[in-house]
C-alpha cells in the first residue's frame, strides 16, 4: 500500500507504472549485465519522457514539478529499477548549482539541453582525499590571462565517464593550504585536457555508470566560473541537501519492492504442507519490513514538503537519507532470507539485484556516518 500526502503523487505513480511496463522491464536486466557502458539511447528515452528534467524550472525546458512529485518519481523508478532512478536523479543533482548560482547566460546555455537529456551533466566533487571530507579539494585552477588552467582528478563521479559538462569543485589560484577555500567552475568534456574513464566491476547500479575524470592543463575561459570564488563548498552542501532526499526516495522504492516480492513469494511458496506466509517467523519479517518502509516513507515526504515550502530541511534530509537507506538494507536482507536460494540466484528473482543495488545508497551523497554527524550537529549546536 502506498500513501500519498499530495494527490498529485498518484498521477506520478500511474505514469511511471505505464512507462516501466513498456520501457524498463524489457531492458533492465540486460542493462545490468551488459558491459559497463553508459546507456545513451536509454538515457535519451528517459529525457524524451520528461524524467531527466522533471523538477527543473519550466522556463529552462524542465517539467517544473514540485519536490514531493519529484521524489515520488524517484521512488517509483527505484521500485522498478534502482539504476534507472539514478539515471534520472543525477542530472537534477548536477544542475542544481547552475539553477541556483549560475548567471542567466549560463542557465540558458546548459539547462534546456540538460533537461531533455541532449546533454549529460555530472557533479564533480569527490576526490581520492576528498570524499566525506569534501572541503579537502586538491584540484587547482590557476588563472592565466583570461583562462583557468586546471589540473586534478575526480573519482566516483556519476556519469563522469560520459558527461558533456560537469560542475567542477576546486581551488582557484591557491597553492596547498590547511583548509583551502573551494570554488566551482562549469567545464565541458569536449576540450583538450579532459579525460573520462569508466570505473569497472561495480557491485550494483550498473546501468548508471560511475567515472573518473582526469584534468591535465585543461583550459577554459574564466567566464565559466560558477558563482563567487570561495563559495563552492556552500554550493556543494546546498546541492547535497536536496540530493539526499532523492537518495532516501531510492531507499523507499527499494523497500517497497522488497516487501512486495516477499509477500508474493511467501503466499506461493509451500513448505510443511502450507504457504510459508502461515509461519510466524515469516510474518514477523513482513511486519518489520512494512513498518521500516512506512517510517522511511514519512521521513522522506516530510523533508520534501519542507523543501517545497522553502523552509530549512538540511536536518530532515539527513534523517530521511540515513533512515530510508538503512531501512532498505534491512528490507532487502529480509527479502533475501525469505526467498532463500531463490533470492540469492539472480536467475530466479529480482532480490539478488536489489541486494547489489541497495548497498551504495548508504555511501553516496554522504555516508550514513556523515548523516549522523549532520544530525547530531543540529541537536548539539
Query: Following CA atoms 91, 207, 256, 19 in sequence, which dihedral angle do they give, to the nearest 10 degrees?
Result: 70
Mark residue 230 as left, alpha or beta (left: phi above 0; alpha: psi -120 to 50; beta: remaining). left
Is 365 catalytic? The answer is yes
CA pair distance 172, 244, nearest whole angstrom: 27
The 3-state secondary structure of 133-162 reads CCCCCCCEEEEECCEEEEEEEEEEEECCCC
Give the number of other CB atoms < 10 A from CB of residue 374. Answer: 20
Backbone phi, then psi, for 228, in 5-degree steps? -100, 150
Q: Which of 75, 261, 365, 369 is catalytic?
A: 365
Residues in the chain, how many? 381
Nearest CA to 10 out of 84, 75, 81 is that of 75
The DSSP code sequence of 1-17 is ----SSTHHHHHHHHHH
Catalytic residues: 365
Amino acid at each position: 500500500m502506498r500513501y500519498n500526502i499530495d494527490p498529485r503523487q498518484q498521477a506520478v505513480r500511474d505514469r511511471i507504472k505505464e512507462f516501466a511496463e513498456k520501457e524498463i522491464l524489457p531492458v533492465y536486466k540486460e542493462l545490468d549485465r551488459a558491459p559497463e557502458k553508459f546507456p545513451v539511447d536509454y538515457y535519451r528515452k528517459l529525457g524524451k519522457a520528461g524524467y531527466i528534467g522533471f523538477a527543473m524550472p519550466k522556463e529552462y525546458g524542465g517539467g517544473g514539478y514540485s519536490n514531493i512529485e519529484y521524489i515520488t518519481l524517484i521512488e517509483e523508478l527505484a521500485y522498478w529499477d534502482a539504476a534507472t532512478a539514478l539515471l534520472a536523479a543525477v542530472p537534477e543533482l548536477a544542475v542544481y548549482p547552475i539553477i541556483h548560482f549560475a548567471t542567466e547566460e549560463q542557465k540558458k546555455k546548459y539547462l534546456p539541453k540538460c533537461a531533455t537529456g541532449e546533454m549529460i551533466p555530472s557533479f564533480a566533487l569527490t576526490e581520492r582525499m576528498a570524499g566525506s571530507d569534501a572541503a579537502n579539494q586538491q584540484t587547482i585552477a590557476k588563472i592565466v590571462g583570461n583562462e583557468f588552467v586546471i589540473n586534478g582528478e575526480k573519482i566516483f563521479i556519476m556519469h563522469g565517464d560520459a558527461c558533456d559538462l560537469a560542475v567542477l569543485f576546486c581551488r582557484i589560484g591557491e597553492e596547498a593550504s590547511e583548509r583551502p577555500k573551494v570554488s566551482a567552475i562549469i567545464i565541458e568534456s569536449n576540450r583538450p585536457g579532459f579525460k573520462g574513464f569508466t570505473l569497472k566491476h561495480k557491485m550494483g547500479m550498473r546501468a548508471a555508470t560511475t567515472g573518473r575524470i582526469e584534468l591535465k592543463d585543461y583550459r577554459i575561459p574564466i567566464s565559466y566560473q560558477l558563482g563567487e570564488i570561495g563559495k563552492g563548498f556552500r554550493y556543494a552542501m546546498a546541492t547535497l541537501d536536496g540530493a539526499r532526499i532523492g537518495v532516501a526516495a531510492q531507499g523507499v522504492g527499494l523497500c517497497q519492492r522488497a516487501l512486495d516480492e516477499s509477500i508474493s513469494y511467501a503466499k506461493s511458496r509451500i513448505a510443511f504442507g502450507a504457504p510459508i506466509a502461515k509461519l510466524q517467523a515469516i510474518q514477523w519479517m513482513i511486519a518489520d519490513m512494512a513498518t521500516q518502509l512506512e517510517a522511511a516513507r514519512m521521513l522522506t515526504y516530510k523533508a520534501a514538503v519542507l523543501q517545497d515550502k522553502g523552509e530549512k530541511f538540511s536536518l530532515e534530509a539527513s534523517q530521511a537519507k540515513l533512515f530510508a537507506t538503512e531501512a532498505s538494507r534491512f528490507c532487502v536482507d529480509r527479502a533475501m532470507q525469505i526467498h532463500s536460494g531463490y533470492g540469492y540466484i539472480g536467475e530466479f528473482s529480482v532480490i539478488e539485484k536489489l541486494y547489489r543495488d541497495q548497498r551504495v545508497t548508504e555511501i553516496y551523497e554522504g555516508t550514513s556516518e556523515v548523516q549522523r554527524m549532520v544530525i547530531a550537529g543540529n541537536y548539539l549546536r
